[in-house]
Amino acid sequence: MPGAGSAPRDGSSGRGPVIAVFGSSAGGPGDPGYEEARLCGRLLAEAGYTVATGGYGGTMEGCSRGAVEAGGWAIGVTAPAAFPDRPGPNRWVQEELPAATITERIHTILSLSAGCLALDGSIGTLTELVVAWNVAFVAALAGAPGRPVVAVGPRWRSLVPQLAAAIGTNPAPVTLADDVAAAVAALARRVPCRPTAPR
């Protein structure tokens, strides 16, 4: 794994627009969530995007792995002080960006990204999705184009409308997709990128 570097804070890495992928730290090769994330990383890389995740295991590893296996680039935004029991980024991360805190980690990954994609996950993934949703919501209030936010799977399809109704906010900034292929297609419509030939 190459050493940590610094990517431009404009949604590009010099390789292709960065798509932030949020997901669980649980699971491993062969698990449905891991393999879905691996497919997600592959589809994003084949479409020409750079992938940025939280850099650790589970679906973060699966997504990074899929991207690298397809010839793409994987950034990991880690939080070593928050997770002292984790030895470092997964082996597929090519560029590690350590953040001092969990909130700084979310800020960093969002500042890098031109779009966001949430896979299935728990409270950490929910937090990342809600922050991305809020940033897009505020951008819309200002009349600016917000970065697209896409959430994949039945959990978010149920939860996003429930949350929006419960707190009286607009669910429209979050696009709901049934699977990762539909999610990547939705992002591609809003974040143009030149596809790369799959390996």
> Is residue 10 domain-resident?
no
Which pLDDT score is estimated for 5? Answer: 39
- Enumerate long-range contacts of 80-84, CB under 8 Å, 24 or more apart: 83/56
Which pLDDT score is estimated for 144? Answer: 82
Looking at residue 89, the DSSP 8-state letter turns out to be S
Structural tokens at position 160:
């996003």
> Distance between CA atoms of 17 and 45, rounded to whole angstroms?
10
> Is residue 198 domain-resident?
no
> Distance between CA atoms of 183 and 56, rounded to whole angstroms?
22
> Is residue 166 domain-resident?
yes
> Is residue 114 domain-resident?
yes
> Is residue 8 domain-resident?
no
- The answer to whether the CB of 72 falls within 8 A of the CB of 50 is yes
> Is residue 153 domain-resident?
yes
Q: From first to last of the 199 residues of the chain, give the pLDDT tens digit.
A: 333 333 333 444 448 999 999 999 999 999 999 999 999 999 999 999 999 999 999 999 999 999 999 999 999 999 999 999 988 899 999 999 999 999 999 999 999 999 999 999 999 999 999 999 999 999 988 888 889 999 999 999 999 999 999 999 999 999 999 999 999 999 999 998 876 554 4
CATH code: domain of residue 108:
3.40.50.450
> Distance between CA atoms of 144 and 136, rounded to whole angstroms?
9
User: Range of 147's domain?
Assistant: 18-190
Which pLDDT score is estimated for 195? Answer: 64
Which pLDDT score is estimated for 197? Answer: 52
Structural tokens at position 163:
């949350």
DSSP letters along 87-118, please? -SS-TT-SEEEE-SSHHHHHHHHHHH-SEEEE
- The answer to whether the CB of 24 falls within 8 A of the CB of 119 is yes
Overall number of domains in the chain: 1
- The answer to whether the CB of 89 falls within 8 A of the CB of 63 is no
Q: pTM for the whole thing? A: 0.89
> Is residue 6 domain-resident?
no
